[in-house]
Amino acid sequence: MVQIKALACELPSTRDLPLSRWSTSDITREVCQSGLVASISDSTVWRWLHQDAIRPWFHRSWIFPRDPNFAIKANRILDLYAGCWKDKPLRDGEFVISADEKTSIQARRRKHKSLAPAPGRAMRVEHEYGRCGAWAYMAALDVHNARIFGRIETKTGAAPFDRLVEQVMTRPPYKEARRVFWIVDNGSSHRGQASVDRLRQKFPRLVLVHGPIHASWLNQIEIYFSIVQRKVLTPNDFSSLNQLAERILDFQYYWEPIAKPFEWKYTKADLAKLLNKLKDKQSA
């Protein structure tokens, strides 16, 4: 039993097998052919693995942090969510904005009209569609006040992002704010020191805060994008690009009155545990 469990915790390639992952029947065949047992059933193998929650037929994507300053950059963001900056509480008139872009949002015109749900019948959406083009959706979320700002653009880039920044920074209360922290990722629209300098020159009270590479999960605007995906874009059935743009922007006005700040529970202590766990896995 122990040897079979150990085999299930190996990658098939270590045994020169042309497999990416094990199935129960693959493990059964291998242990029989290798002489570990004379015979055994798939159900017995499954039962033994189930005892230790070993499921080699499952997999998940994983990215090890590559940014040498991952913890420093991530902790700055977590501090801002907690209402502080450089170990000092944020003051009145200081705001935290989470911003990014959702790219290549297609408008798909279905070949036949979608049918509304009815008793005992789900909504029906035609499988075939024609492509009407795509938009980029630029959005910014005030994380402590649940205000959303967005605009539709034909493409991403520094100029479209700057238009979003101007849209926010030229209206109250941000226009008169002490400081406005903008949390962004490392996309080309707002990457590096050049973006910091460019935006600071236009808006001296703006502080651009870059997250680590591969850490979009720290950016709260991604939570809002997931809401848009579920409530606005799925199923995707739009007669034109204009209808798609109107639906996205109208949703902002629909969502904001009922929105509350996201209940962010992930702390710096949680991050430290994760990074230590990854360090152990990487060195194993």
Listed residue (173, 182, 168, 144) closest to 260, CA to CA: 144
- Are β-strands 94-110 and 88-89 bridged in parallel, bridged antiparallel, or unpaired? unpaired
Q: How confident is the model at residue 64 (pLDDT cuts 50, 70, 90)?
A: confident
Query: What local confidence, expressed as pLDDT, does residue 280 receive?
Result: 76
88-89 and 84-85 as β-strands: parallel, antiparallel, unpaired?
antiparallel
pLDDT in tens, 92-142: 999 999 999 999 999 999 999 999 999 999 999 999 999 999 999 999 999
Q: Is 25 exposed, middle or buried (0-12, 13-18, 19+ CB in 10 A)?
A: exposed
Please compute the mean of the pLDDT values over residues 147-168 and round it to a whole number: 97
Q: Cα(138)–Cα(151) distance, rounded to whole angstroms?
A: 5
Instruction: Give residue 71's Cα distance to chain centre.
Output: 18
Please check whether residue 101 is in contact with residue 139, taking contact to mean a CB–CB distance below 8 angstroms. yes
Indicate if the pLDDT at residue 11 is higher than 90: yes
Give the pLDDT band of residue 284 (cuts 50, 70, 90): low
Task: Calculate what percentage of the chain has a pLDDT beyond 90.
Answer: 88
| pLDDT at residue 160 is higher than 80 | yes
Query: pLDDT for 176-200, tens place per residue?
Result: 999 999 999 999 999 999 999 999 9
Could you report the per-residue pLDDT of 197-215, keeping only the tens digit for each?
999 999 999 999 999 988 8
| Cα gap 243→135, rounded to integer Å | 11
Encoding tokens for residue 43?
A: 């159900």
Structure tokens at 266: 């992930």
Mind listing the pLDDT tens digit for each residue in 24-51?
999 999 999 999 888 999 999 999 999 9
Ranges 113-117, 118-122, 253-257, 279-283: which has the least confidence: 279-283
User: How many C-beta atoms surround the C-beta of residue 148 within 10 A?
Assistant: 19
